[in-house]
Structure 1
Amino acid sequence: MKVSFDATGEVVVITGGARGIGAALAEAVARRNGTAVVFDVVAPQTGTPLAQTGTPSAGVVYVEVDVSDREAVLKAVGSVVERYGRIDGLVAGAAVQPRAAVVDMDPADWTHTLKVNLDGVVWVCQAVVPQMVDRRSGSVIVFTSGMASTGYPGAAAYAASKAAVTAFARTLAAEVAEHRVRVNIVAPGVIDTDQFRSANTSADREHWRDTLGIGDPEDVVGPLLFLLSDAAAMTGSQLTRERAFGRLDSFKE
């Protein structure tokens, strides 16, 4: 059975979408005639500051936003709604992943991780979800990690933030279900992104390759498109990429 998705007229906000999974999704939305609005602090596929705020490129619009700044998020979302009239989908993917043992952790790294990975999700949901509730339509996706339940040496801040995000998303899902707004969670597994490479030593990368396996950002796009679509009559659910099921490409065209 072949699956296809049509995003004509749809507006999807993707935080942390300049690179990795978010960038792959933004391009996929644009190819399907939708508009992907990327909130990020870096330019596409680079580590340099995002210089051209709001410059469109073939269906993808980049807006320089630090998601840990609530006022900046509210302002950016307001501008998107003013420009396009609506936001149909929200993918909250912005995250950082510093590594340090708990006893050596810099308090500033701990605080920054929670501000981006947790507060950033809360602020963008507070900004976007009310207009979805008013329209009685919308899909929200947040990212978690297997580390949220298992932990991982050196990743306490990241793991804690992802555990908190999971609980937050399930709570939000329960609160807005009656308004026909869906909130779901994706645990993409180990994906070969810039963040993954910077957070993991070569030995760690070999460990992941030999256990869960390492996927590509495009592997996650199909499931994300599914959850954004009206075919996904589910909320408060979690899709997880596990080795037993191989690549998360069941919804590829």
Structure 2
Amino acid sequence: MEPSGMEALARTGLVPDAPCELAGQAALVTGASRGIGRAIALALAAGGARVMVGYLRQREKAEAVVEQICRAGGEAEAIQVDVRDAAACEAAVAATVRRFGQIDVLVNNAGTALEKLLVDTSLDEWDDLVAVHLTGMYACTRAALPHMMARRYGRVITISSIWGITGAAGEVAYSAVKAGQNGFTRALAQEVGPFGITVNAVAPGAIDTEMNQFLQGDDLADWLARVPVRRLGTPEEVASLVRYLAGPQAGFITGQVISPNGGVVV
């Protein structure tokens, strides 16, 4: 049974009557129909933000996120956006501004995984990873920045990966694009800081989502043996960090790659 709106927001780990530090703000979250993106959309709404819920194919799941937010008293809308298409990214930002009058928070979350040796990775697979993780981030951010600069306030948060920090055998292409997101974050933070805009990346370790369902049995046990806290992370734990970075209280945090990974990398 699908949880109620209030139950879904409560699962972010934030009490429903917590101070709404994001009240009056508007956010666009790409890839928000499931997993970490869904948890982020709910967490931002719990903080008082109005949320544009981006999705690629899973319209029903995105609309379910919108329904949960609205049932809890929030405001949200679903929008289809293929981040591989720069024009679609620009349209999603424009739709956010048109619906809410502004865009204060951009969460570049849309992503795909690829677990292959480099010698088995085709050029098409490489190009697709670059298009989703780098071109999509570039296009969405480039479209949002003029609106943020005009208001001299903004939060750009990109969901990277621990492999963008350490690299991973069997995931060279994925590690490369995630490292690219981290470099983009550090450089852009220096460009737009004078406009009151912060730019950060969240680089999770293994999180309990559909993307990591391949971790089963002995593979899961082997991984957990490497994690000091001995468990996978939850989407809600990542979302709570994003909510903090999205708020005005995080205005002195920028250019950072923060990795909630259970202590695998310290």
TM-score above 0.5, yes or no? yes
The one-letter code sitting in structure 2 at the alignment partner of 1:193 is T
Question: CA, structure 1 residues 42+122, in 2 after alignment: closer, same or farther (shift >3 Å)?
Answer: same
Partners of 1:19 and 1:45 within 8 A in 2: no
The one-letter amino acid paired with 1:65 is V
**More helix by percentage:** 2
1:14-25 residue pairs with structure 2 within 5 A?
14-25=29-40
| 2:249 match: secondary structure | coil
Q: Is the 8 A contact 2:39 2:239 kept in 1?
A: yes
Deviation of 1:126 (Å)? 0.5
The aligned counterpart of 2:147 is: 131
1:73 CA drift (Å): 0.9
The 5 Å alignment of 1:15-94 reads 15-43=30-58, 56-57=66-67, 58=70, 59-94=75-110
Per the alignment, residue 225 of structure 1 pairs with: 243
Where 2:258 maps in the other structure, the secondary structure is strand
- The amino acid across from 2:171 in the alignment is A
Q: Deviation per CA, 1:66-96: give whole Å up to 9, x if none.
A: 0110011111211221221101101111111
Distance 2:140 2:242 in 1: 18
Q: Would you say the 8 A contact 2:20–2:48 is kept in 1?
A: no
How far off its partner does 1:209 sit?
A: 2.0
Letter of the 1:206 partner, please give it: A
State the identity %.
32
Taking the aligned partners of 1:56 and 1:23, their CA distance within structure 2 comes to 10
Aligned mates of 2:241, 2:25 — CA distance in 1: 17
The structure 2 residue matched to 1:235, chosen from 254, 259, 266, is 254
TM-score, scaled relative to structure 2: 0.82
The one-letter code matched in structure 1 to 2:241 is P
Q: Unpaired runs of 5+ in structure 1?
A: 247-253
Quick one: structure 1 residues 195 and 106, their matched pair in 2 at CA, closer, same or farther if it must change by over 3 Å?
same
Q: Deviations over 1:142-183 (max 9, x none)?
A: 122221232212211110000111101111111001111000
Shift of 1:4: 4.5
The Cα of 1:56 is off from its aligned counterpart by: 4.8
- How many residues align? The count is 238
Take 1:220 and 1:29, find their aligned partners in 2: how far apart are those partners?
Answer: 12
**What letter corresponds to residue 33 of structure 1 in structure 2?**
G
Task: Specify which of 166, 177, 180 is matched with residue 161 of structure 1.
Answer: 177
Alignment of 1:146-185 (within 5 A): 146-185=162-201
Q: Which amino acid aligns with 1:243?
A: G
Deviation at 1:201, TM superposition (A): 5.8
Superposed CA deviations along residues 19-58 of structure 1, whole A, max 9, x for unmatched, are 1111012112223332111222032685xxx7x7xx9531
Offset, 1:124: 0.5
The runs of 5 or more residues in structure 2 that have no matched partner are 1-14
2:162 and 2:261 in contact (8 A); partners too: no
- Corresponding letter in the other structure for 2:240: G
